[in-house]
């Protein structure tokens, strides 16, 4: 009886620092959970970032870097021709591309190497400039399938990139249930001087303009006028300028003694477990990992009705949806959940049930990816 050899699969992305970022975590879970009897994996990035955490990322694969730092240069062209030759030499049959630069530049050269090409879309295209959108449309001529992480992202991709809906597959972000077995961070309230009965409003997101932290701070200033014991915990890193601007606004709003900036936290779930109300007030989201984690912690969420958020939160059942930039509604729903803890607990339980019944298990995501890869290999 003959044993079939694993198919050659290449994961290609702009960079990989570590599994903490949203897309990078999803890639890490994909790489570490693929069936190695079916797939022989190659892992390549355009560039190795300065804060890269090392080759030992737990998936037993050395990361190959093309050292591409500019999209348009003779050096880049040579590197991409080399990539096409590598794909053909190794007989790689599937290339799955993540992040923006690779999605623009790589499809033609991957197709030149003889591979089927998949690209991923994980946001609502907030980064699109006219030339990037045009470049994506051209690159898509060499793409066999796009993976979107929400129906909203799929619709946005098809509308703006003029890509066929029949060639877009939705595979939602995964989050392993074991993540939520970890205990709450010991001594958290004592460490930060937060009393046992002080309600905690929390938001987990990088500090960047698209997350609209000023809306959160302005809402929280109004929350404190009605719930003076409330505390705000912010989990997420950011550039020095962005962090300084948010801290300055907190001082201006006289919130400095009531807002806690934790920065990046390796295990945010251990902190989320202290939140009484979870918030995400972004301008744009594809499918928020933070909201999925809020749900997995059994917490009620108040978030903006943007992108895939409405695919996660059932308004009035597992949390509340507010228009982007509506500080007044954001305030009202946060206050409602603080003043009605039984309601908050009810919504939290419903959110946890929704998480458990949803398509968020890692094995579900892996099976969907592998089925897509196999489908492409059998369609000629």
Q: Are residues 91 and 117 in the same domain?
A: yes
Stronger pLDDT, 58 or 79, i.e. the higher one: 79
Give me the CATH number covering residue 129: 3.40.50.2000
**Mean pLDDT, to the nearest integer, of 257-272?**
95
pLDDT of residue 75: 96
Spatial separation of the C-alpha atoms in residues 122 and 142, rounded to whole Å: 19
Is 272 among the domain residues? yes
pLDDT of residue 3: 54
If pLDDT is split at 50, 70 and 90, which confidence band does 52 have? low
Is 2 among the domain residues? no
Q: Are residues 278 and 162 in the same domain?
A: no
Is 1 among the domain residues? no
How many residues in the chain?
Answer: 380
Q: Are residues 170 and 252 in the same domain?
A: no
Q: Quick check: 25 pLDDT over 90?
A: no
Identify the domain containing residue 280 by its residue range: 177-357
**Mean pLDDT, to the nearest integer, of 265-281?**
96
First-to-last C-alpha distance (Å) of the chain? 26
Spatial separation of the C-alpha atoms in residues 130 and 371, rounded to whole Å: 34
pLDDT of residue 59: 52
Is 41 among the domain residues? yes
Spatial separation of the C-alpha atoms in residues 192 and 259, rounded to whole Å: 10
Q: Are residues 257 and 239 in the same domain?
A: yes
Could you report the per-residue pLDDT of 92-144, keeping only the tens digit for each? 999 999 999 999 999 999 999 999 999 999 999 998 999 999 999 999 999 99
Q: Are residues 182 and 127 in the same domain?
A: no
| HEC-encoded secondary structure of the chain | CCCCCCEEEEEEECCCCCCCCHHHHHHHHHHHHCCCCCEEEEEEECCCCCCCCCCCCCCCCCCEECCCCCCCCHHHHHHHHHHHHHHHHCCCCEEEEECHHHHHHHHHHHHHCCCEEEEEECCCCCCCCHHHHHHHHHHHHHCCEEEECCHHHHHHHHHHHCCCHHHEEECCCCCCHHHHHCCCCCCHHHHHCCCCCCCEEEEECCECHHHCHHHHHHHHHHHHHHCCCCEEEEECCECHHHHHHHHHHHHHCCCCCCEEEEECCCCCHHHHCCCCEEEECCCCCCCCHHHHHHHHCCCCEEEECCCCHHHHCCECCCEEEECCCCHHHHHHHHHHHHHCHHHHHHHHHHHHHHHHHCCCCHHHHHHHHHHHHHHHHCCC
Q: Are residues 208 and 231 in the same domain?
A: yes
Reported pTM:
0.93
Helices 100-112, 130-139: axis angle to 10 degrees equals 30
Q: Is 142 exposed, middle or buried (0-12, 13-18, 19+ CB in 10 A)?
A: middle
Q: Are residues 148 and 210 in the same domain?
A: no
Q: Quick check: 211 pLDDT over 90?
A: yes
**Mean pLDDT, to the nearest integer, of 164-171?**
98
Q: How many CB atoms within 10 Å of residue 181?
A: 8
Nearest C-alpha neighbor of 185 from the set 261, 267, 291: 267
Q: Which distant-in-sequence residues (6+ apart) come within 8 Å of 105 by Cβ?
A: 68, 71, 76, 80, 139
Q: Are residues 269 and 222 in the same domain?
A: yes
**Mean pLDDT, to the nearest integer, of 201-224?**
97
User: How many structural domains compose the chain?
Assistant: 2
Q: Are residues 232 and 102 in the same domain?
A: no
Q: Are residues 168 and 182 in the same domain?
A: no
If pLDDT is split at 50, 70 and 90, which confidence band does 174 have? very high
Q: Are residues 116 and 221 in the same domain?
A: no
The mean predicted confidence, pLDDT, of the chain is: 94
Spatial separation of the C-alpha atoms in residues 123 and 135, rounded to whole Å: 17
Could you report the per-residue pLDDT of 83-92, keeping only the tens digit for each? 999 999 999 9
Is 135 among the domain residues? yes
Q: Are residues 120 and 186 in the same domain?
A: no
Question: Is 241 within 8 Å of 209 (Cβ atoms)?
Answer: no
Nearest C-alpha neighbor of 164 from the set 134, 138, 144: 144
């Amino acid at each position: 009886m003959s044993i079939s050899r694993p198919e050659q699969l290449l994961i290609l992305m702009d960079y990989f620092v570590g599994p903490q970022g949203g897309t990078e975590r999803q890639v890490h879970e994909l790489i570490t959970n693929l069936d190695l009897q079916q797939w022989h994996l190659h892992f390549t990035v355009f560039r190795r970032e300065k804060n890269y955490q090392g080759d030992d990322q737990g998936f037993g694969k050395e990361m190959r870097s093309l050292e591409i730092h500019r999209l348009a240069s003779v050096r880049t062209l040579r590197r991409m021709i080399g990539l096409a030759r590598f794909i053909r030499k190794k007989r790689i049959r599937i290339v799955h591309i993540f992040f923006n630069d690779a999605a623009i530049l790589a499809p033609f050269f991957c197709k030149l190497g003889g591979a089927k090409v998949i690209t991923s879309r994980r946001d609502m295209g907030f980064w699109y400039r006219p030339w990037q959108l045009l470049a994506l449309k051209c690159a898509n001529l060499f793409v066999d399938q796009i993976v979107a992480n929400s129906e909203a992202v799929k619709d946005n991709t098809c509308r703006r990139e003029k890509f066929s809906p029949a060639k877009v597959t939705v595979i939602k972000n995964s989050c392993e249930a074991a993540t939520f077995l970890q205990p709450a961070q010991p001594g958290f309230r004592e460490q930060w001087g937060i009393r046992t009965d002080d309600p905690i409003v929390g938001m987990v997101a990088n500090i960047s303009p698209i997350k609209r932290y000023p809306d959160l701070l302005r809402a929280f200033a109004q929350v404190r006028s009605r719930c003076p014991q409330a505390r705000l915990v912010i989990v997420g890193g950011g550039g020095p300028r962005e962090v300084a601007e948010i801290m300055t606004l907190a001082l201006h709003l006289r919130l400095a003694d009531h807002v806690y900036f934790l920065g990046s936290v390796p295990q945010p779930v251990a902190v989320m477990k202290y939140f009484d109300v979870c918030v995400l007030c972004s301008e744009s989201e594809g499918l928020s990992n933070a909201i999925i984690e809020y749900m997995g912690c059994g917490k009620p969420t108040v978030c903006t009705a943007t992108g895939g958020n409405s695919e996660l939160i059932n308004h009035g059942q597992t949390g509340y949806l507010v228009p982007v930039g509506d500080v007044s509604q954001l305030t009202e729903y946060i206050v409602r959940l603080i003043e009605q803890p039984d309601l908050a607990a009810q919504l939290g339980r419903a959110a946890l049930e929704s998480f458990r019944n949803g398509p968020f298990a890692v094995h579900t995501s892996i099976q969907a990816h592998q089925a897509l890869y196999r489908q492409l290999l059998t369609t000629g």
